[in-house]
Structure 1
């Protein structure tokens, strides 16, 4: 349930392998949430090799040329990690920046229109002995052998499993934007993904397929998040005021896109169990994380592939759905927990005040072994390698 990246990936893979998944999405049309997504090798290998959308991705996405850390005030390079070719050689797959709407369209076409049901808001799931029954706001009901909750960071199914809303504010808020290249002539290394760091804030940006730069501007937030909504109207030029005095390339970029909304960055703590009865969670519904490692969508894709493999393995070996779902959770829980925790910690590292700790951070970011020590475990991971091969 849910036509985000994880839900569409899972359904497409299950259908490719002979099952009949149906996707129910509450929106009347697929709309972007955030303009773009960075897809690292731990996800693109499956989109290319399993789902068969590698050519479409290559046409629509920007193939990112390495990672660069800069000082946000004067722009000098602190660390430069992995060129495009080095990344391909190390991981065996590309690192893409792509418009989220383009990716959703590719996945929707790979799945097939007949398996996608829009304007279907689920209001209740009855977990009965013979089947789960989904009740929708329009009065329809559907029976299912399994219900996969791919309904995102504000997952209704997660709340049903827990009995309460466990969202936690990370202590940061941010502004998002997309800027065409002609408006940012001062930007160095426009084909790379870059972090510009400074006390209490940072700018992350990367290219997408049409040459635009997608950015996330993050600032520390004093005190708890007191607003009712996670997204609030932004005051005029508040993001420019928050980063006044930063490098001209930064202020040029963030000044070229109207920031009409400010986003609170929430996450959810690791669960002890991702399944109950016939319901299983994947993606943000299972492990919503802050975006400082850029791994939300990528971990959802890993989830989808591993869950699909476990379900097919369970069918092939006759061990049943429950065993398959427990195996999926056993294979995924430790990895996503580590990504969640390190993503949270990354904000603290990026936002250090000037002084000895920031100098030590800069030395680490510029070290020759930074990739091996800090990034290889994320990007070089092959999620299905631990599974028994399944013939489909």
Structure 2
């Protein structure tokens, strides 16, 4: 299908929305992105771009820009929480030398995508709050200011509380996982190298890795608890609460936590993968279709995959938009379900309590000594998946 005369509206100027806008515009479509904020920006958070997401950025000719403003990950290091002793080092340079993993500030990735989209001719409209979406052969987006818009296709890339998802699916009730997470960025006074440091403790863990030129460190601290916490990335908390929760973490972890002067806390909720990713000429991508827990670092990477496959499915279709959207869901849903399940199962490995923690750590250490290649490659089905290659 030729995209040259296609008029597409995308709701949400996040990673998935901007990547889809760029991919579609480069195929000839006329693309407008609606963003409710007053600026296209993201604050105070890091993320990991794994090889599967990087393949999309490379296909969009954005790899070099990403490399300039991020840290290329050299290893993942698992440590015990007490003194930070090393349990297992997964050397990516040695055992995954053909792959690239990056630590990037979310704001930098959004800037790269937004600039590329605008340069390509995408129209980004700010302060556009969406009230509801109607799916039709000619879909309609109703805005809070009373205006309406739409086009030949509407794509909902509007995150956890997606208006587009509500138009296509019954509203499901997410459930609290019994885990909360704090996010913070601190100066890299400890001179942490370009490695992901995972400090494992009973019922909790801390992840730390450097950002930008290495002068900053991104922290994600996860704790199991019964008390419910609100869902959302930008809910402020008192840094003293974070330090109190991780008071038994010593070594570098203690030093990093002592530097936190601003922190956000959010509850981790399980949302079902949407049953319907498309109806009429409305489609979903990213968190709007499949919110995932952060334990495989795949939220942004799956959104990048979605963006590419959606654009590819539209271009490849000979039967119009509904057929293209059906092909898009068929290509994506099974993989996404599998990744979301893997993320949901992954946290417990870092939260073992005595007496299980010591023997489990010894098994990890032995595995790293005896079969390091296997340890590094256990999630190759995620990281080596390349949606930019035909048939993926």
TM-score (norm. length: structure 1): 0.89
Judge which range, 109-118 or 362-371, deviates more. 362-371
Matched with 1:119 is 127
Matched with 2:323 is 323
Report deviation, 1:126: 2.7
Partner-residue secondary structure (3-state), 1:175: strand
- Residue 83 of structure 2 is aligned with which of 59, 74, 80? 74
Matched with 1:22 is 32
Matched with 1:133 is 140
Distance 1:231 1:264, change over 3 A: farther
Q: Does the aligned pair in 1 maintain the 2:231–2:268 contact within 8 Å?
A: no
Report deviation, 1:267: 3.1
Matched with 1:333 is 333
Distance 1:198 1:135, change over 3 A: same
Matched with 1:108 is 114
Matched with 1:176 is 183
Partner-residue secondary structure (3-state), 1:237: helix
Q: Does the aligned pair in 1 maintain the 2:133–2:141 contact within 8 Å?
A: yes
Task: Work out the CA distance in 2 between the residues paired with 1:356 and 1:236.
Answer: 30
Q: Does the aligned pair in 1 maintain the 2:36–2:126 contact within 8 Å?
A: yes
Task: Work out the CA distance in 2 between the residues paired with 1:128 and 1:326.
Answer: 15
Structure 1 position 55 matched with structure 2 position 60? no
- Residue 371 of structure 1 is aligned with which of 342, 354, 376? 376
Runs of at least 5 residues in structure 2 that lack an aligned partner in the other structure: 1-10
Matched with 1:345 is 345
Distance 1:362 1:151, change over 3 A: farther
RMSD over aligned CA atoms reads 2.1
Q: Does the aligned pair in 2 maintain the 1:175–1:259 contact within 8 Å?
A: no
Judge which range, 72-81 or 9-18, deviates more. 72-81
Matched with 2:210 is 207
Task: Work out the CA distance in 1 between the residues paired with 2:231 and 2:274.
Answer: 24
Q: Does the aligned pair in 2 maintain the 1:233–1:260 contact within 8 Å?
A: yes
Runs of at least 5 residues in structure 1 that lack an aligned partner in the other structure: none
Partner-residue secondary structure (3-state), 1:218: strand
Partner-residue secondary structure (3-state), 1:385: coil
Judge which range, 33-42 or 331-340, deviates more. 33-42
Q: Does the aligned pair in 2 maintain the 1:311–1:324 contact within 8 Å?
A: yes
Distance 1:13 1:386, change over 3 A: same
- Residue 49 of structure 2 is aligned with which of 34, 39, 57? 39
Judge which range, 1-10 or 244-253, deviates more. 244-253
Q: Does the aligned pair in 2 maintain the 1:146–1:279 contact within 8 Å?
A: yes
Structure 1 position 99 matched with structure 2 position 105? yes
- Residue 381 of structure 1 is aligned with which of 376, 382, 385? 385
Report deviation, 1:234: 2.4
Report deviation, 1:30: 1.8
Partner-residue secondary structure (3-state), 1:327: helix
- Which deviations, in whole Å up to 9, do the C-alpha atoms of 1:190-225 show, x marking residues without a partner? 2101211111000012111221111101111215x2
Q: Does the aligned pair in 2 maintain the 1:349–1:361 contact within 8 Å?
A: no
Task: Work out the CA distance in 1 between the residues paired with 2:118 and 2:81.
Answer: 45
Distance 1:117 1:362, change over 3 A: farther
Report deviation, 1:231: 5.9
Report deviation, 1:361: 5.9
Q: What are the within-5 Å matches in structure 2 for residues 150-169 of structure 1?
A: 150-169=157-176
Report deviation, 1:355: 2.3
Report deviation, 1:371: 2.1
Distance 1:327 1:303, change over 3 A: same
